[in-house]
């Protein structure tokens, strides 16, 4: 028998051909092609997701090479989205990959989501983009896989305003509050342990895969926290910020 790329998924209990077919028909929008976005993109492409759209307006910097493992020294100065797309096409030529060299904003959200996106992955590094994604996802009823790494610590969750009952429908602003005027990212970059980005990014890819295939239990209504110093994970239940309006009348938290 000839081996195929999907063999280990086809043999996986609770996954199989049905889930693989769903994955192959799916379209994921990944915002941010950095330390978290790259492992998400690599695992989804290698797993056989049907289409990936990469949104990032940044270029590769030498300081990125410590943790953004798809990039090479020769890529410095080139657009991240373009370089990442080239690497992913080499990884799996069967995936339809689109590179958008721009920042996700409220102005271009409708255009970026017009191609039939199933899941949004928030792998960005600034709050303004994060809130723009949250607003767009809520308007479109789409789930968002979110992750971040700070120093030795990583965090992952899934936000979905339209999660089918009885799944909890919690969004980023529900937990962290509404966006405030003039919100911005820290002026100085923070330190980060390179392999921690791989751990958190791979976990985000797992969450996206579960959402796309209807397998497992997505991290809805809970925050997964990773401590690289002790190699431990904890799960924190999430509740909605009562000051934040929610599109649903009932919550099942």
Tell me, what CATH number does 139's domain have?
3.40.50.720
253 in a domain, yes or no? Answer: no
Q: How far apart are CA 197 and CA 226, in angstroms?
A: 11
Q: Closest by alpha carbon to 149, among 202, 87, 92?
A: 202
245 in a domain, yes or no? Answer: no
User: What is the length of the chain?
Assistant: 253
Q: In the chain, how many H helices and how many E strands?
A: 8, 8
Residues near 112 by beta carbon (within 8 Å), at least 6 away in sequence: 29, 53, 55, 100, 104
* Entry pTM: 0.91
CA 10 to chain centre: 24
251 in a domain, yes or no? Answer: no
Q: How far apart are CA 143 and CA 119, in angstroms?
A: 6
DSSP helix/strand/coil, 186: coil
206 in a domain, yes or no? Answer: yes
216 in a domain, yes or no? Answer: yes
- Res 235 pLDDT > 50: yes
246 in a domain, yes or no? Answer: no
Instruction: Note the pLDDT of residue 182.
Output: 46
- Res 29 pLDDT > 70: yes
100 in a domain, yes or no? Answer: yes
Q: What's the structural domain count of the chain? A: 1
Give the least confident one: 123-127, 168-172, 185-189, 216-220: 185-189
Site of tokens 């791979």? 202
With a pLDDT cut of 90, the percent of the chain lying above it is 82
Q: Closest by alpha carbon to 244, among 151, 140, 131?
A: 131
Q: What is the pLDDT of residues 182-219, one digit of tens each?
A: 444 544 567 999 999 999 999 999 999 999 999 999 99
Range of the domain at 119: 7-237
Q: How confident is the model at residue 252 (pLDDT cuts 50, 70, 90)?
A: very low
Chain-wide mean pLDDT for the chain?
91
Q: Sort strands 222-227 and 232-237 into parallel, antiparallel or unpaired.
A: antiparallel
Residues near 146 by beta carbon (within 8 Å), at least 6 away in sequence: 122, 130, 156, 157, 158, 159, 172, 204
Instruction: Note the pLDDT of residue 179.
Output: 80
């Amino acid at each position: 028998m000839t081996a195929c790329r999907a063999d280990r998924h086809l043999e996986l209990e609770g996954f199989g051909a049905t889930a693989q077919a769903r994955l192959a028909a799916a379209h994921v929008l990944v915002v941010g092609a950095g330390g978290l976005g790259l492992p998400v993109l690599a695992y989804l492409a290698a797993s056989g997701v049907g289409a990936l759209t990469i949104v990032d307006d940044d270029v590769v910097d030498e300081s990125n090479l410590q943790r953004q493992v798809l990039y090479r020294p020769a890529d410095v100065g080139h657009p991240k989205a373009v370089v990442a797309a080239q690497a992913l096409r080499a990884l799996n030529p069967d995936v339809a990959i689109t590179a958008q060299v721009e920042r996700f904003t409220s102005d271009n959200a409708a255009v970026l989501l017009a191609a039939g996106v199933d899941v949004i992955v928030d792998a960005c590094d600034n709050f303004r983009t994060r809130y723009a994604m949250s607003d767009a996802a809520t308007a479109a009823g789409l789930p968002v896989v979110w992750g971040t790494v700070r120093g030795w610590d990583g965090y992952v969750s899934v936000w979905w305003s339209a999660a089918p009952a009885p799944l909890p429908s919690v969004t980023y602003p529900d937990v962290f509050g509404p966006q405030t005027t003039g919100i911005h990212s820290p002026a100085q970059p923070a330190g980060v342990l390179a392999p921690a980005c791989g751990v958190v990014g791979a976990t985000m890819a797992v969450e996206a895969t579960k959402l796309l295939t209807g397998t497992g239990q997505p991290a809805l209504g809970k925050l997964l926290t990773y401590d690289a110093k002790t190699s431990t994970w904890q799960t924190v239940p999430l509740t909605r910020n009562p000051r934040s309006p929610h599109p649903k009348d009932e919550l099942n938290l």
